[in-house]
């Protein structure tokens, strides 16, 4: 009797751990793509706005920080909703779709900035907002939601926040370095498209989990 009870506990823990690993993995994948997109963003804009370090770099990095800030806020709000897995899954799919189609719009948007009379400073800033704002906001919503999903009792909340931030930021580091050192050697557009597909698949998995589990305790 006691033994079988213990066995049940173990299986519950394993199940919970698997779920926790899954949630952290989602945060990691999104962390990776945020920085990959940031590095490719600098590369994508410099043919149009020049290699003046303080212009394109400043615009892109600034827009990413602002978008992440908005994403965190939005993610915190989503995490309180009953069907947060559904929302998050759809968000990740949308971000993936954005990345997938973005290559077709880079030239249009960047040339458009000059056509409406902006210089390379405000032009690159606005172009960065238009091109990278939406996917970064969406990817930013993942972190707070992941923290919420991991947290079953208030006393764990700080630990869970720490774990999620640590892993997703480490993944961001990896995404940053791998992109800057290696992915720039291949086609930027191709990289963006493949990344978009990966994100869409991830979002779909989250969404399917949400549907099959029917809401509240889903995630993975």
Partner 1 sequence: MREDRKMRKVVLYTLICVGVFCQLPAICAAFDSEWGRLIYQKDSLYHRILVYKNGSVVTLRFGRQPAVQVQSQVDLNNLRRDMLSYTKLAFCGLLYQEQPKRVLVLGLGGGVIPRKMHNYFPATVIDVAEIDPEILKTAEQFFGFREDDKLRVHIADGRMFIRELLRKGPAEKYDIIVLDAFNSDYIPFHLMTKEFLEQVKGVLAEDGVVVANVFQNNRLFDAELATFLAVFGRCQVFVDENPSTNAMLVSPGPKGQTLAVDEAVSRARTLKHKVDFSFDMVGVASRLRPNIKPEANIKVLTDDRAPVNQLRTQQRRKSP
Residues that bind partner 1 (CB under 8 A): 46-47, 49-54, 114, 120, 184-190
Which C-beta is closer to partner 1: that of 69 or that of 190? Answer: 190
- Shortest approach of partner 1 to residue 102 CB, angstroms? 13
Q: Is 37 exposed, middle or buried (0-12, 13-18, 19+ CB in 10 A)?
A: buried
Crossing angle of helices 84-101 and 2-49, in 10° steps, is 30
* Dist. CA 212–CA 197, nearest whole Å: 22
Q: Are 22 and 219 in contact (CB under 8 A)?
A: yes
- Shortest approach of partner 1 to residue 119 CB, angstroms? 10
Half-sphere exposure of 163 (CA within 13 A, CB side): 17
Cα distances from 108 to residues 5, 35, 111, 113, 188, in angstroms, run 63, 23, 5, 9, 16
Which C-beta is closer to partner 1: that of 49 or that of 167? Answer: 49
Any idea which residue has 């290699």 for tokens? 51
Which C-beta is closer to partner 1: that of 54 or that of 155? Answer: 54
Which C-beta is closer to partner 1: that of 50 or that of 215? Answer: 50
- Shortest approach of partner 1 to residue 106 CB, angstroms? 9
- Shortest approach of partner 1 to residue 186 CB, angstroms? 6
């Amino acid at each position: 009797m006691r033994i079988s009870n213990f066995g049940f506990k173990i299986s519950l823990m394993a199940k919970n751990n698997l779920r926790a690993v899954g949630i952290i993995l989602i945060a990691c994948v999104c962390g990776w793509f945020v920085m990959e997109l940031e590095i490719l963003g600098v590369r994508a804009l410099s043919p149009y706005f020049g290699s003046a370090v303080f212009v394109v770099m400043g615009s892109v990095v600034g827009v990413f920080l602002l978008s992440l800030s908005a994403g965190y806020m939005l993610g915190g709000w989503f995490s309180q909703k009953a069907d947060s897995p559904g929302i998050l899954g759809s968000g990740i799919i949308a971000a993936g779709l954005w990345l997938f189609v973005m290559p077709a719009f880079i030239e249009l948007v960047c040339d458009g900035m000059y056509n409406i009379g902006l210089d390379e400073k405000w032009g690159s800033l606005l172009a960065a907002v238009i091109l990278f704002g939406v996917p970064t906001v969406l990817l930013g919503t993942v972190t707070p939601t992941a923290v919420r999903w991991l947290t079953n009792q208030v006393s764990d909340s700080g630990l869970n926040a720490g774990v999620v931030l640590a892993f997703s930021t480490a993944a961001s580091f990896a995404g940053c370095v791998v992109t800057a050192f290696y992915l720039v050697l291949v086609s930027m557009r191709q990289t963006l498209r493949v990344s978009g597909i990966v994100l869409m698949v991830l979002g779909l998995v989250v969404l399917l989990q949400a549907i099959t589990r029917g809401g509240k305790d889903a995630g993975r």
